[in-house]
Amino acid sequence: MNIVILGGSRGIGKAAAAELAKDGHRLLLVGRDADALYKARQELGGETKIFQGDITSEAEAGLLTEYIGQSFPPDGVVFNAAAFPDPRTARSVLKPSVRELQEILHANLTAHYRLAQLLLPLLRERGGGRMVFVGSTAGIRQDKGGIYGISKWALNGYVHLLRNEAKAYGVSVSLVNPGGVYTERRKKESDGGRRLLETSDLGIVIGAIFRLSRQAVVEELNIRPIDGDTY
């Protein structure tokens, strides 16, 4: 299959890419930082393609869609890229400004909403396909998620509605909600990995979703460290 990974150069997206490459899928990794994309492509090898672009930019999302339409007819898309709030106020919905909320919602919901609209017709041309969204347990919990939690709750609601509508086109829609994951980004701020999942755990889960038969859909999957979330 041809699988696009939005946010495939680092963290969970890169771990998903590693797993999907093992299964022989052709990949297109999307991210803003060219060096990170080159590095990921070098590590993955094979037929991995890269596209440098910011999914929050309407113009760049348009260019990405054009590129995919012409050079990488998709069978699957992993909607994984996200923005994260200022750690100093991350657990509050009273302290961050409205502008910060809008930026987070734009990156974590609106940009994916737009790309799903743009890419669904391309999946349809291939006779259907899969969309896998990476949410968060912050989008199923009711405490301390802050504006990031708002964006993931919104994504959760959106994905359920999209699943119902996209099935008419043979497109299955999954939501994977991880608890804390030990990514490079979190290594800088964390407790050394206790109570954090490995990125490979998410890679395995996302890889497995793409191994299912066409008629099967994982609707929602929540995965946490045994001892629970980190907050």
Ligand X SMILES: NC(=O)c1ccc[n+]([C@@H]2O[C@H](COP(=O)([O-])OP(=O)(O)OC[C@H]3O[C@@H](n4cnc5c(N)ncnc54)[C@H](OP(=O)(O)O)[C@@H]3O)[C@@H](O)[C@H]2O)c1
Region from 2-10, 17-25, 96-104, 159-167 binding ligand X, contact rule CB under 6 A: 2-10
DSSP 174: E
Q: Is residue 77 close enough to count as binding ligand X by CB under 6 A? A: no
Q: Which of 134, 147, 150, 171 binds ligand X (CB under 6 A)?
A: 134
Q: Which of 17, 36, 44, 206 binds ligand X (CB under 6 A)?
A: 36
Q: Is residue 54 close enough to count as binding ligand X by CB under 6 A? A: yes
Angular region, 193: left φ>0, alpha ψ -120 to 50, beta rest = left
Q: Which of 2, 3, 4, 10 binds ligand X (CB under 6 A)?
A: 10
**Count of residues near ligand X by CB under 6 A:** 28
Q: Is residue 149 close enough to count as binding ligand X by CB under 6 A? A: no
Q: Which of 74, 146, 180, 203 binds ligand X (CB under 6 A)?
A: 180
DSSP 10: S
DSSP characters over 54-71: -TTSHHHHHHHHHHHHHH
Q: Return the number of the residue (2 or 183) whose C-beta is nearest ligand X.
A: 183
Q: How far is the CB of 214 from ligand X (least distance, A)?
A: 25
With beta carbons less than 8 A apart as the criterion, state whether 22 and 207 touch.
Answer: yes
- Identity of the amino acid at 152: K
Q: Is residue 131 close enough to count as binding ligand X by CB under 6 A? A: no
d(CA 179, CA 181): 6
Q: Return the number of the residue (185 or 214) whose C-beta is nearest ligand X.
A: 185
Q: Return the number of the residue (126 or 186) whose C-beta is nearest ligand X.
A: 186
Q: How far is the CB of 109 from ligand X (least distance, A)?
A: 11
DSSP characters over 14-49: HHHHHHHHHTT-EEEEEES-HHHHHHHHHHH-TT-E
- In the chain, DSSP assigns E strands to 2-6, 26-31, 49-52, 76-79, 129-134, 171-178, 220-223
Q: Is residue 186 close enough to count as binding ligand X by CB under 6 A? A: yes
Q: Is residue 58 close enough to count as binding ligand X by CB under 6 A? A: no
Q: How far is the CB of 198 from ligand X (least distance, A)?
A: 11
DSSP 169: G
The side-by-side arrangement of strands in the sheet containing 129-134 is: 49-52, 26-31, 2-6, 76-79, 129-134, 171-178, 220-223
Query: Which residue ranges make up the site for ligand X (CB under 6 A)?
Result: 7-13, 30-33, 36, 54-56, 80-83, 107, 134, 136, 178, 180-181, 183, 185-186
